[in-house]
Amino acid sequence: MVQQAGGAQGLVETFLQAIEMHDPEGARACLADEGFHYRSPISEFTDADSFIADMTYRTGIVQRMEIRKAFADGNDLCHILSVHIQISSRVRVDAVIWSRVLDGRIQWMEVLFDAYPYRALFPAGTEPPSWL
């Protein structure tokens, strides 16, 4: 399990480290038990347990996450990342994560990235989900 650094920024970075290390329990420990909300180009969740269950399935392709820049504005944090994934080949996906920390837990996250590389997960001739 990952060790948490101090403050709101440390909490979000602990969450990101847990995702990178494929540690769903460590990631879940960073999230609010009630009122959690997550949104990205490929999914949206309103409870932390469903989000973690889905992330456990999706993050198997994550090889490495590089924090390029992080900054805070009160309870809001922004992390600009390069996420290195392995689908059919290695790909780097640049992403921005906007998080809000309340009462020592991540309450809200919005992730922005180009979902195009995920099309490789669908064989030729099949229709990808509408979010792609």
Give the pLDDT confidence score for residue 30 in this predicted structure: 97
Residue 4: strand, helix, or coil: coil
- The domains of the chain are located at 7-114
Taking the C-alpha atoms of residue 11 and residue 97, their distance in angstroms, rounded to an integer, is 13
Fold classification of 7-114 (topology level): Nuclear Transport Factor 2; Chain: A, (3.10.450)
* For residue 132, pLDDT beyond 70: no
* For residue 1, pLDDT beyond 50: no
Over residues 33-60, the pLDDT tens digits come to 999 999 998 889 999 999 999 888 777 7
Over residues 100-124, the pLDDT tens digits come to 999 999 999 999 988 776 665 655 5
> Model pTM?
0.80
Taking the C-alpha atoms of residue 10 and residue 107, their distance in angstroms, rounded to an integer, is 15
List, in sequence order, every residue forming a beta bridge with 85; answer none if it has no partner.
62, 91
Q: Token pair for residue 93? A: 């996906």
